[in-house]
Structure formats: structure tokens, C-alpha cells
Amino acid sequence: MTDLAAAEGLDFRFDRIQPGNTFGAHRVLHLANRARVQDAVKERMLLGYMTEGEPIGNPDVVARMAGEVGLELAEVRSLLASDAYSREVRADEQQARDLGITGVPFFVFAERYAVAGAQPADVLLRVLERAWGEVAAPAFAEGAACGPGGCD
């Protein structure tokens, strides 16, 4: 797996990983989504966990990493000291159970296509294209059209 990651420019260091409870990190991701920096926060946490050996279960570490990429440190610390976004994370967990998800990564496209595990980019592209074809089709049937200049 480290070789596959390296071929994509990722440095996975399983020898550095420190397991921990990620519930707080997932709550911070909900805050980050509201602040429109969720991707940056998630990527920072993944880098910290998978490459740098950061203890993702440590609230101080999670707060520091989130602060490094756009969230206010005081707001993150306050969130982690509360139960904010706990219901949302529990709902995410329930949705995962309902979908039969037992591991990560796991991708769901258009609420009907699922891809489990680390898959090559061409597999993900084929699923995305199929899902897009089904989701976009009704809009085109109603007269909407997209071209080089944008969509009507």
C-alpha cells in the first residue's frame, strides 16, 4: 500500500501511526464544513495521521492542525470541550452502518453507487461518469443544456 501511495505522491508512514479516537476530529470536520474549509482541514488531518504520526485522538493536536489551515483555534478548542456536532457525527455513523460500510476509504456516488477500499483512479472515474450520467440526465430532459460557455 505504501508503494501505491508513493506512486501517487503520498508518503504513508504506517510505522508512525498513533491510533486514537477520531470522534473529536470528525466533529471538527463538521465545523470546517460550515466554514468552507473542510477539505483543507481533512487533508491536514490525514497528512498528520498518515505521514507525520500525529495522535489524531488528542484534542490539542486536532485543534492545532485545524488552526493551521483556516479555523480559529479558540473556536476549535471550544467545540472540542463541548458536545457540539456530536449528533451530526452519530448520524454520519448511523448512515455508514445503514450503507454497510465497515472500513475506509468508502465512496458513495449519487446515493446509489458505492466503491469500497483504495481503488485506482480509473475505477473511481468510471463510477463518477456513470453516476453523473444518471443524475444529470433528468436536468437535460427538462431543457437545460451545458456547453463550453456554461449551463442554461
- Domain ranges for the chain: 2-99, 106-151
Give how far the C-alpha of residue 32 lies from the chain's centroid of Cα atoms, to the nearest Å. 11
- Alpha-helical (H) ranges within the chain are 2-7, 23-34, 38-47, 59-68, 73-80, 86-99, 121-141
Mean pLDDT by groups of 10 residues along the chain of 152 residues? 83 93 98 97 96 96 97 98 98 91 87 86 92 70 52 54
The whole-number pLDDT of residue 108 equals 87
Q: Is 106 left (phi over 0), alpha (psi -120 to 50) or beta?
A: beta
Q: What is the dihedral of CA 98, 100, 105, 111, to 10 degrees?
A: -50
Single-letter amino acid, residue 135: V
The whole-number pLDDT of residue 137 equals 57
Altogether, the residues listed in the chain come to a count of: 152
The whole-number pLDDT of residue 24 equals 98
Domain 2-99, CATH number (from 3.40.50.300, 3.30.200.20, 3.40.30.10, 3.30.390.50)? 3.40.30.10
